[in-house]
Structure 1
Amino acid sequence: MNIYQWVGAVLSVSMSLASQAADVVQRGSGAWRTQVSSADNPVPAAPFRTPAMLERAAPTNQWYSSVMFTRWSEVLHAVPLTAKASAKGLEVGFPQKTVVPTERKDVEILYPHKADVTLRPLGFQPTAALLAGHSDWAVDIAFELEKSSMVTTLAHGSPFVYAQLSQGDLSLDLATSLTGRLWPADPRVLLLSDAIKTYAAFAPTGAQWVQAGPSWHLRLPADRRYASLAILPNDQDSTIREFLAQAYSHIVETRAEYRVDRQKSEVITSFKVKTRTMEGPEGTGMVGLYPHHWHQNSALPPKSVGSLGSIRGDIRLFASSSFETRYRHTGFVPQWPGVQDAVQSKAILGNLSKEARRARRMMLEIGQGPYWQGKGLQRISQLMGVADAEGDVKTRDELLSLVKGRFEEWLSGQSKRTYFHYSPTLGTVVSYPEEYDAVKDMNDHHFHYGYWIRAAADIGLRDPQWIKPERWGGMIDLLVADIATAERGRKDFPYLRNFDPYEGHSWASGVALSPDGNNQESSSEAINAWAGLMLWGALQGRPELVELGTYLYATEIQAINHYWFDIHGLTLPKEYQNVEVSMLFGGKLAHNTWWIDEPRQIHGINLLPLSASSTYLAESPAFVHKNMAALDNEIKIYEGRGKRAKPHDIWQDLFAKYVALVDPAKGRARWDEWGSVELGDTRTHAQHWLAFLEGTGAPDLGVTADTHFYAVFKHANKGKTYLVFNPDPQARTVRFSDGVSVQAAPGKLTVQR
């Protein structure tokens, strides 16, 4: 029985026992509550699902999630197309870039939805649009009236939208800018174009196109009630023929399957589309690859059929039902060892002593809910790691006891104020007191629970008994299942709640009720969650969880480097004045935060929390320096608007640590030992970070190893330092790609200089 089956079984048994202990359901030493306190929000209902979908956990936090929460969906950014379910039918658009100036003296880039073509059933008037099916990057939306329906399918990257009707004919209602004409080479094909774009609509054999004012009606044969619509890269006859060859192969399922090649330290993902050919020769299908799919990919499908511009950059189209990506896994270790310099070590221990005395207050300085408590737990568990590394066992044990005590207060289920609740309404674990609409809108679960999982793993490194399922580990497993269930179609939890396998990154909003689509701000907090998942799996002896975490960690890093940081120069439009995106939406790129437009917080939100798993940020030293130069300029603009940060040097520790990843000396120069400290960090951890990198040099991400948990650092004068964390009970030999081998001791961090 794997973890997900086990979690489901325990939930089932626990629910049956709930009545025996009021509303508290025991889970090892912890417990969750079946009822929500009267002042707390319940999870939202998601009623707009077909009966079959109501039997499965709701796929919140996806690009199409709004379909479930409102009668007519918000805009769905399938990229390169947009769509919206309306009372008339499915609106389809090919959005164009819009540049919007801001008061920050920069711009936002929007790709707003505009209905070019609306697919409208003529035989009935739908009363709602329901989620009728979903797979890894495709969604089925059913427009229904009693027993009549029109089911439409759209997918990430696909230029096609498909429709099947139970009865009646289909209308294509056109925007005023579009005109239609039949393609002379085949009367089944209707071309719809304006000065910017061309669509092709494909009718079944035996159907008839009839113009009806601004609309075109499709008279359908009784046994062939289907059609497809596609945006074309151009209107050349050869291109239309390529699309015609795929137009009748409708998407049935999409699936991204991953595996980890430990020997090469690679994550290989196979993307496969299953289609059903409605008539004519069987097609291969058509996929649209985003930049993070095609960049430096030597194994692209052979048959290219053009490209389309989009908010993610150039979408390259291929006549194929599959493709594969290979990403290097740049490893990490749970913590860095003690520093070699005796003077630096003494200074670190001095700060450690001061902060350890204030650790209880530092664990929850602002906010009362699971986000700030999670940040506080990891803040102190990282401080505990420094005490461990520097040999202060007494302080380490005091901090360990403190962190465990706070965990146990929350996990016990004894409080009606700070507690976890499982809701079968959506299939989710939520926590109270609510922060950032994490219950009302199902926001940010991976951010919040990522901190808890990582801090629990830090405990497990030092007290393996505490994290056993029969102790406190069972409750942490529940949080893992909420954000990282790896089985599709379950009733208790959805598949990878926050992660988008095709976009390659996570989404934060649970309901996605915005015309700009879903969004994610802090990409780095997502990375923190996946790193915590890897460590938790390793300490629990669950290799499948380590593999899953590795897939999520390595893939999200690729998306960050393309779409947040654009380190390859492939995705940000020339009009965008900033060097990075701090808030990425389905249809918008913004340089801001949800709470303030202060530059240091705008830049820093995609860096924190900086831990030993943050070495991926050193991938492009040139970008790091460009990013910091941009920050300095933005601070001048901000202050020129008469604004000031509070405190004036807010988050200076983050930027010192960030720069130190590529230039330890410059990082140290940015650091003010007595300056401000971000509330998920400590002065001691920052000091240890800077001193360690000064001694070892910056991360060398070009060297890989045949294990999940490793790191290499390169110093101009001292050579390389190799770190390996071996979670196994037996020693093992770890081989690095540069020819070095390290004998990794069991259950600990091994250092080889």
Structure 2
Amino acid sequence: MAEHTDGAGTNPQNRASNSDEPHESQESPGSSDALSLSRRSYFGAFGAAGLVGLASIPEPTAAASGVHGVGNGSYTHEKPSGEGEPPATLYTTSNVRAPIPSNDWWSSALVTVYSENLFFHPGFALANDTGLRVGHPTTWNYPNEDAKMNVERDFTLGHTATTFADTRVDGHSDWSVTLKWGAGTATTLTASLTKGSPYIFCEFEGGGAELGFQTAPTVWDDRRNVLGLTHEDNHYGLFAPSGDDWSGVGSATLTNGLSGGYVTIAVLPDGTSSTLDTFETYAYNFITDTGAGDATRVSPTYDQAAGEVRTTYSFNTDNKPESATGGTLTGLYPHQHKYLSRSTLGYTYECPRGTMRTVSGSSFTTTHPFRGVLPFLPDQGTYNRSELSSYVSDVSAGYDNGQGSGTYWTGKDYGRMAEAAPIADQVGNTSKRDALHGAIRSELENWLTADSGESQDLFYYNDQWGTLIGYPDSYGAAGELNDHHFHYGYFVRGAAELARNDESWAGDGNWGGMIDLLIRDYANWERPNRANTREPADNPADSFPFLRNFSPFGGHSWAAGTAEFAGGNDQESSSEAIHAYGAMVQWAVFTGNDEMLNWAAYLYTHEVCSAREYWFDVDDQNHPDGWSHDTAGIVWGIKYAYATWFSADAEAIHGINYLPFGGHSLYLGWDSQLAERNYSEAVANDNNGGDWDYWADIMWNYRAFSDVTDAKNMFQAAKSTYTPEAGETKAHTYHWIYNIDAMGNPDPSVTAGYPLAAAFDDGSERTYVAYNGEDSAITVTFSDGTTLSVPANSMEASTGDGGSSDTTPPTAPSNLRSPGHTGSSVDLAWDAASDGDSGVSHYVVYVDGAENRQVSAGTTSATVSGFASGTSYDFTVTAVDGAGNESSASNAVSVTTDSSGGGDYSQSATRIDGSDSDTATDELRFEFVSNVGSDWVDIHYTVNGGTQYNYRMNNPSGDTHTLETTPDHVVGDFASGDLIDYYFTYQHDGTASDTGWFSLTY
């Protein structure tokens, strides 16, 4: 099948609506010189265009027109002439009412006749005139600078009676969507997709189901109404009602009359009858939403005293008569299963975010540490105060529109001044502090006020989508609803700095009400009642969709509002998303909004965790081994891109996921080894080898977390000649680097019982910092027992012995267990250790007494791989605290890996002279002898952990399959000491089976 590409080279609104295999001309933004438009320029070029379609959303409840006051501020219902706004024609049924969610993994279904690819992981789907194309991405390829999973259809789920003119969204909840074909007719198909769920739940009217495969699938379990089958190595379960039997077994088309009217399709992790049994148990529990909005639901709790965020994910199912139990099966991403206290099932899937692990039931709960946000760094630096003062004096106290006047660049300027103002206060330059505050206030109040007839620097409310749009907008924020969290997060950051110093300014009756509306636009923490009138001034909770930008199950935000890309939705700047939620934390504290704070802490914590997992791959487990990069500039639904929307410069690719620096970005320094790894990759890929010329100050700020001396040296060498990044100042860069020099890196092993607090450790002592946003003095208690008294509306810092006096190791991890294993890997889980002094920093996994890997604090599970099949291994785990003290070992667990092959084969690898014009013995001959009549065998191997090579072996003599690296496939001569890891995939009874890994040293 032709693969859907997902670059930025083609206007997605101009695609032919009758094509179910669209293409875009550029595979990856920033990775080709042919891509001349940045994402922001690209969207700006057509942001005013609207979609023309065949269906319209039901008429929303009428809202009043004109200007509406919110305290001292206001917004308008009258769009300025000539400005763009989001599509007015939407493909929905009467079950879907405004405010309409955007920026989701399924958003393309709202604005296209059918949809773009919908990556619900572990599967993908694509709506077209026939029905729903379905596939299961499992293998990686590496076009341009991307790591991308294959997108190939296994079958199309259609209706036996008809094709369809369009597909419409029939319902949605926190991470699920229901699509409907044939709305308004007697012949319909409805399909419900849920992020993380292996099930597709379908209902039919006026006919039955028809599944058209590329080639005839192998049916390995036929229970008449239930089938287990395999197509191109992908396994599926088909579950029809009792008495509704499948026809066409043995052909490429399967049909079912479905007198019961429904069917479930499951993406299976393997092709065994026992797995089919388990999935059948839950297959008739439909996760579907046709208007109620409660099929899936997220519920977070920020426990300040414990310094953690607990998040519960719930499923509400409609159980059919065949249901055997309650709940469902769902696959969890790494940012979830690493923070899960319960054990997972043995079933796993590989998806673009790494390994998904499955759980069963109607809910599950994760627990993440909340490590604090600071409004600014304290005055602890080793800087020269006179020099710092001179830089403060040079800060421009006024709006700088040198980059443009839209919402993004306006917001960046608020951020620049908000970060500089506290430093001015610290050096005693109160006139500069007041000037900066005054400039923020003046510009913000201008934007937060819409006068009759005004056309610039105002906000317009679109009541169909339920969104505030600032004009002039930036980079598709109006026409595509792109990037609202990026842009408005800067507005909130500027407002939070004002609220920190002037509580009255932030009152609802003054300017706080408008700031609350901006936050609700990108992160409305209340689910709207769509039966109510939408008017933000009177009814803010019901005037915006729930958590517009943030994906509750995905754990991070999406930037594209309508997601019209074959690669799914995407997000580039993870750090600007984190900044938006960090600003929300501050605003909630300074305005005393505890409900907002609860959600802000949840959003911040999960966005940080996901950035570390998917953009930075903190544990080196989620990015594919074959990819030549350690960093994702952009995360897509189906891939990682080492790219940006605006530049192919490595400095930009890395820097866009660092900036802006502030007290919200301490997470970048939690792991100095990760910071070193990421920075080193930037240097290696930079055209100037680390002689930064794009965003030098951004790179220096990040470098401080891995080598602060180098950061200082680079700053000192260029301080008189470099130009600060648009959101930075020389004062802030100097202040930042030299504070990290004085205090050390942020310490992730220590949390605090207050949101605006953090601890730093320089290796010999800790510095404890807290800002009190209350009107009376408080005492902040840190998790290592340290207390800090902080007066009202002020910051305190205290340096103590920290790790240097802590000689007591943590308790040993307990209840070590193995929830599952394969022929080459073992899953481990354990109960958390505790440490009353410096806190648990990380865990160490030992295999047969030797250290294998370290696991971040807060994570109580690991998958250890690279084992030989049919072999027994012993495992233990220890805990290490912030002072470096290591606990005694946990209980030992012995696990024997699966005996892959089970007598099905024998194999060997021998050294040969490859007949490549030399006489050296420097090649390999692989031999696989099948005992089960395999028609084909594939060999997969790596050399010293590098690129994986995958080849079909020769079969010249019956059951013996061979491959010689030369002359069959020239990969280069092997050298003494090379480590070759390899495994086989062999055909067995119509299905594909993998052996375990084998290793040899040349």
TM-score relative to the length of structure 2: 0.69
Counterparts of 2:180 and 2:279, CA distance in 1 = 25
Which residue of structure 2 lines up, in the alignment, with residue 292 of structure 1? 335
Which residue of structure 2 lines up, in the alignment, with residue 426 of structure 1? 465
Which residue of structure 2 lines up, in the alignment, with residue 411 of structure 1? 448
Which residue of structure 2 lines up, in the alignment, with residue 538 of structure 1? 589
SS at match of 2:401: coil
Q: Say if 2:766 is the partner of 1:720.
A: yes
Select which of 208, 215, 233 maps to 1:196.
Answer: 233
TM-superposed deviation, 1:549: 0.6
* 1:202–1:228 Cα contact (<8 Å) kept: yes
Cα pair distance change 1:208/1:101, threshold 3 Å: closer
Select which of 38, 51, 76 maps to 2:94.
Answer: 51
* 1:662–1:699 Cα contact (<8 Å) kept: no
Select which of 156, 166, 174 maps to 1:118.
Answer: 156
Which residue of structure 1 lines up, in the alignment, with residue 756 of structure 2? 709
Query: Which 10-residue stretch deviates more, 686-695 or 551-560?
Result: 686-695
Which residue of structure 2 lines up, in the alignment, with residue 132 of structure 1? 170
Q: Say if 2:386 is the partner of 1:346.
A: yes
Counterparts of 2:62 and 2:274, CA distance in 1 = 61
Counterparts of 1:151 and 1:278, CA distance in 2 = 16
Query: Which 10-residue stretch deviates more, 623-632 or 498-507?
Result: 623-632
* 2:141–2:150 Cα contact (<8 Å) kept: no
> 1:650-665 residue pairs with structure 2 within 5 A?
650-665=694-709
Select which of 329, 347, 358 maps to 1:306.
Answer: 347
Which residue of structure 2 lines up, in the alignment, with residue 6 of structure 1? none
Which residue of structure 2 lines up, in the alignment, with residue 667 of structure 1? 711
Counterparts of 2:566 and 2:80, CA distance in 1 = 33
Which residue of structure 1 lines up, in the alignment, with residue 80 of structure 2? 37
Cα pair distance change 1:206/1:409, threshold 3 Å: same
Counterparts of 1:119 and 1:340, CA distance in 2 = 63
Q: Say if 2:274 is the partner of 1:228.
A: no
Q: Give the letter for the 1:702 counterpart.
A: S
Q: Give the letter for the 1:547 counterpart.
A: N
Counterparts of 1:543 and 1:532, CA distance in 2 = 15
* 1:44–1:439 Cα contact (<8 Å) kept: no
* 2:98–2:463 Cα contact (<8 Å) kept: no
Q: Deviations over 1:309-343 (max 9, x none)?
A: 111111112333322111111102211222465x6
Q: Give the letter for the 1:408 counterpart.
A: E
Which residue of structure 2 lines up, in the alignment, with residue 561 of structure 1? 612
Cα pair distance change 1:15/1:28, threshold 3 Å: farther
* 2:339–2:368 Cα contact (<8 Å) kept: no
> 1:462-541 residue pairs with structure 2 within 5 A?
462-491=501-530, 492-541=543-592
Structure 1, unpaired ranges of 5+: 1-11
Select which of 270, 273, 281 maps to 1:237.
Answer: 273
Which residue of structure 2 lines up, in the alignment, with residue 697 of structure 1? 744
TM-superposed deviation, 1:444: 0.2
Counterparts of 1:182 and 1:165, CA distance in 2 = 26
Q: Give the letter for the 1:460 counterpart.
A: A
* 2:381–2:740 Cα contact (<8 Å) kept: no
> 1:15-94 residue pairs with structure 2 within 5 A?
16=64, 18=65, 23-53=66-96, 55-94=97-136
* 2:136–2:151 Cα contact (<8 Å) kept: yes
* 1:14–1:26 Cα contact (<8 Å) kept: no
SS at match of 1:751: strand
> 1:319-358 residue pairs with structure 2 within 5 A?
319-339=360-380, 341=382, 344-355=384-395, 358=396
TM-superposed deviation, 1:649: 1.6
Counterparts of 1:309 and 1:669, CA distance in 2 = 44
* 1:129–1:143 Cα contact (<8 Å) kept: yes
Query: Which 10-residue stretch deviates more, 600-609 or 126-135?
Result: 126-135
Counterparts of 2:706 and 2:787, CA distance in 1 = 25
Which residue of structure 1 lines up, in the alignment, with residue 900 of structure 2? none
Counterparts of 1:339 and 1:207, CA distance in 2 = 73
Counterparts of 1:663 and 1:236, CA distance in 2 = 52
Counterparts of 1:490 and 1:389, CA distance in 2 = 46
* 2:633–2:641 Cα contact (<8 Å) kept: yes
Larger radius of gyration: 2
TM-superposed deviation, 1:182: 6.5
Q: Give the letter for the 1:99 counterpart.
A: N
Determine what percentage of the aligned residue pairs are the same residue: 31
* 1:63–1:78 Cα contact (<8 Å) kept: yes
Q: Give the letter for the 2:705 counterpart.
A: L
Q: Which has the higher helix share?
A: 1
TM-superposed deviation, 1:477: 1.4
Which residue of structure 1 lines up, in the alignment, with residue 794 of structure 2? 748
Counterparts of 2:708 and 2:575, CA distance in 1 = 21
TM-superposed deviation, 1:432: 0.9
Which residue of structure 1 lines up, in the alignment, with residue 940 of structure 2? none
* 2:584–2:597 Cα contact (<8 Å) kept: yes
Q: Give the letter for the 2:195 counterpart.
A: H
Counterparts of 1:648 and 1:736, CA distance in 2 = 38
Q: Say if 2:287 is the partner of 1:251.
A: yes
Which residue of structure 2 lines up, in the alignment, with residue 676 of structure 1? 723
Counterparts of 1:613 and 1:388, CA distance in 2 = 20
Cα pair distance change 1:13/1:276, threshold 3 Å: closer
Query: Which 10-residue stretch deviates more, 592-601 or 212-221?
Result: 212-221
TM-superposed deviation, 1:435: 1.1
Q: Say if 2:595 is the partner of 1:549.
A: no
Counterparts of 1:726 and 1:351, CA distance in 2 = 27
Q: Deviations over 1:93-122 (max 9, x none)?
A: 1023342342xxxx3122243221211112
TM-superposed deviation, 1:296: 5.2
**How large is the Cα RMSD of the aligned pairs?**
2.0
Q: Deviations over 1:344-402 (max 9, x none)?
A: 111110111122xx3325x3221210000000111012111210222211111111112
**Which structure is richer in relative contact order (CA contacts within 8 A, separation 6 or more)?**
1
- Tell me the number of residue pairs that the alignment of Structure 1 and Structure 2 aligns: 714
* 1:609–1:680 Cα contact (<8 Å) kept: yes
Q: Give the letter for the 2:389 counterpart.
A: L
TM-superposed deviation, 1:697: 2.0
SS at match of 2:315: strand
Query: Which 10-residue stretch deviates more, 739-748 or 503-512?
Result: 739-748
* 1:339–1:345 Cα contact (<8 Å) kept: no
TM-superposed deviation, 1:529: 0.4
TM-superposed deviation, 1:507: 0.2
* 2:308–2:367 Cα contact (<8 Å) kept: yes
SS at match of 2:316: strand
Query: Which 10-residue stretch deviates more, 90-99 or 161-170?
Result: 90-99
Which residue of structure 1 lines up, in the alignment, with residue 775 of structure 2? 729
Counterparts of 1:621 and 1:698, CA distance in 2 = 8
Cα pair distance change 1:46/1:446, threshold 3 Å: farther
Q: Give the letter for the 1:323 counterpart.
A: F
Cα pair distance change 1:348/1:639, threshold 3 Å: closer
SS at match of 1:297: coil
Which residue of structure 2 lines up, in the alignment, with residue 3 of structure 1? none
SS at match of 1:308: strand
SS at match of 1:190: strand
Cα pair distance change 1:169/1:194, threshold 3 Å: closer
Counterparts of 2:346 and 2:200, CA distance in 1 = 17
Q: Say if 2:476 is the partner of 1:437.
A: yes
TM-superposed deviation, 1:711: 1.2
Q: Say if 2:656 is the partner of 1:601.
A: no
Cα pair distance change 1:489/1:468, threshold 3 Å: closer
Which residue of structure 2 lines up, in the alignment, with residue 146 of structure 1? 184
* 2:752–2:780 Cα contact (<8 Å) kept: yes
TM-superposed deviation, 1:716: 3.8
TM-superposed deviation, 1:547: 1.2
